[in-house]
Amino acid sequence: MSVRRLTPAGTGGVAVVEVSGRASLRRLEEYLGSSLPGDGKATLVRLLRTSAGPAAQGEQERSGVDLLDEALLLRRGEDCVELCLHGNPLLVQEVIQRIEADSGNDARGEALSVEAAAWQLLPHIESESGARLVLDQAQGALRREALAWAGGEVPGPLSWVELYRASAALIRPPLVVLTGASNAGKSTLFNLLLDEERVVVSEEMGTTRDTIAAPLVLDEWVVRLVDTAGEREVGSSGGGAVEIEGQRLGRELAARAELTLELIDFQSLPAESWPDPAPEPGRRVLVSRADSLSEDPAALDARVAISAMRAPQQARALVGDLILEGLGCQGPQARWQAGRAVPLELAWAEALDTARSLPPGEARVQRVLGVLNGDSFEQGKAVDPSCP
Ligand X SMILES: Nc1nc2c(ncn2[C@@H]2O[C@H](COP(=O)(O)OP(=O)(O)OP(=O)(O)O)[C@@H](O)[C@H]2O)c(=O)[nH]1
Which of the choices Mg ion, ligand X, none does residue 203 contact, using the CB cut-off of 5 to 8 A by kind? ligand X
Question: Cβ of residue 315: shortest distance to Mg ion, in angstroms?
Answer: 16
376 binds ligand X (CB under 6 A): no
The binder of ligand X chosen from 208, 211, 247, 376 (CB under 6 A): 208
308 binds ligand X (CB under 6 A): yes
260 binds ligand X (CB under 6 A): no
Answer whether 19's CB lies under 8 Å from 76's CB: no
Name the H helices within the chain. Answer: 22-32, 54-63, 89-103, 114-121, 128-138, 141-150, 160-171, 186-194, 240-255, 297-302, 312-326, 346-354, 362-372
AA letter at 251: R
Q: What radius of gyration, in Å, describes the C-alpha atoms of the chain?
A: 27
Q: Decide whether 56 or 244 has the Cβ nearer to Mg ion.
A: 244
Q: Decide whether 130 or 206 has the Cβ nearer to ligand X.
A: 206
Question: Cβ of residue 306: shortest distance to ligand X, in angstroms?
Answer: 7
250 binds ligand X (CB under 6 A): no
- Using the contact rule CB under 6 A, the part of the chain among 3-11, 143-151, 305-313, 319-327 near ligand X is 305-313
207 binds ligand X (CB under 6 A): yes
Q: Burial level of 137, CB count in 10 A (0-12/13-18/19+)? A: buried
DSSP per-residue string spanning 321-350? HHHHHHTT--SGGGS--TT----SSHHHHH
183 binds ligand X (CB under 6 A): yes
DSSP-derived 3-state class of residue 67: strand
Question: Cβ of residue 206: shortest distance to ligand X, in angstroms?
Answer: 5
Q: Decide whether 206 or 328 has the Cβ nearer to ligand X.
A: 206
Which of the choices Mg ion, ligand X, none does residue 94 contact, using the CB cut-off of 5 to 8 A by kind? none
Q: Burial level of 362, CB count in 10 A (0-12/13-18/19+)? A: exposed
187 binds ligand X (CB under 6 A): yes
The binder of ligand X chosen from 2, 51, 167, 307 (CB under 6 A): 307
Nearest residue by C-beta to ligand X? 230
Quote the CA–CA distance of 131 and 116 in Å, as a whole number.
15
Quote the CA–CA distance of 99 and 286 in Å, as a whole number.
56
DSSP per-residue string spanning 131-188? HHHHHHHHTTHHHHHHHHHHTTSS---S-HHHHHHHHHHHHSPPEEEEEEBTTSSHHH
Which of the choices Mg ion, ligand X, none does residue 188 contact, using the CB cut-off of 5 to 8 A by kind? ligand X
The binder of ligand X chosen from 98, 224, 284, 289 (CB under 6 A): 289
Residue 156 CA: distances (Å) to CA of 139, 160, 211: 19, 9, 42
The binder of Mg ion chosen from 113, 187, 211, 307 (CB under 5 A): 187
- Using the contact rule CB under 6 A, the part of the chain among 86-94, 178-186, 210-218, 351-359 near ligand X is 178-186
Helices 186-194 and 312-326 cross at an angle (nearest 10°) of: 90
Quote the CA–CA distance of 168 and 342 in Å, as a whole number.
9
The binder of Mg ion chosen from 103, 208, 247, 294 (CB under 5 A): 208
Number of residues that bind ligand X (CB under 6 A): 22
Scan residues 111-150 and list those touching Mg ion (CB under 5 A): none
179 binds Mg ion (CB under 5 A): no
- Using the contact rule CB under 6 A, the part of the chain among 38-46, 97-105, 176-184, 343-351 near ligand X is 176-184
Question: Cβ of residue 317: shortest distance to ligand X, in angstroms?
Answer: 15
